[in-house]
């Protein structure tokens, strides 16, 4: 039979519980924590790791699922997944620039060149020695900024030669 827990400090008869009852609850909680800690020690798992998530793996999953949708031509849906991956940036995700680049490519396919340029720029800030300059150059050409496109093409060539 289930036990009723009264959060208003009264028992079934409506009388206030005694401080001894609260001590009993504290003792039970301490006992449960001891059991969990012992289990974790024996199994080699820390209590913190039970609560910690592998943010890198989650970010990579979003990015890879976004790539699959991108390949199917589902650019808006891909962008939603890239957004989720990018939102984990503050968790210390490695290679987050790739997510910005991928989202930029999806924006490019949707002919939203301004957003594509923004994402390519962010990817370049994260990884200056990258191929992303040539993609940004093409986007600059699409919006009628040939000078910026030329500069990015020169940077792309320089990066290849280095």
Say yes or no: 90 and 141 in one domain. yes
Is the domain of 34 the same as that of 66?
Answer: no
74 & 148 share domain:
yes
Same domain, 48 and 59: no
Q: Is the pLDDT of residue 97 over 90?
A: yes
Angstrom distance (rounded) from CA 127 to CA 130:
6
Residue % of the chain over a pLDDT of 70 = 78
pTM across the whole model: 0.68
Residue 31: the pLDDT is: 78
Residue 90 buriedness (CB in 10 A; 0-12 / 13-18 / 19+): exposed
Stretch among 26-40, 61-75, 106-120 having the lowest mean pLDDT: 26-40
The verdict on 41 and 1 lying in the same domain is yes
Where in the sequence is the domain holding 143, given as residue range(s)? 55-161
How many structural domains compose the chain? 2
Query: What is the rounded average pLDDT for all residues in the chain?
Result: 84
């Amino acid at each position: 039979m289930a036990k009723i827990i009264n959060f208003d400090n009264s028992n079934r008869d409506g009388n206030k519980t005694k401080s001894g009852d609260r001590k009993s609850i504290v003792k039970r909680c301490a006992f449960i924590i001891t059991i969990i800690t012992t289990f974790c020690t024996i199994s080699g798992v820390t209590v913190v790791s039970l609560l910690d998530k592998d943010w890198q793996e989650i970010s990579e999953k979003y990015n890879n699922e976004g790539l699959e949708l991108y390949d199917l031509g589902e650019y808006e849906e891909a962008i939603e997944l890239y957004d989720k991956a990018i939102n984990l940036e503050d968790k210390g995700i490695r290679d987050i620039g790739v997510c910005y680049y991928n989202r930029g490519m999806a924006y490019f396919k949707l002919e939203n060149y301004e957003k594509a340029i923004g994402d390519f720029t962010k990817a370049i800030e994260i990884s200056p020695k990258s191929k992303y300059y040539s993609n940004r150059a093409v986007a600059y050409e699409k919006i009628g900024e040939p000078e910026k496109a030329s500069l990015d093409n020169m940077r792309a060539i320089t990066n290849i030669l280095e």
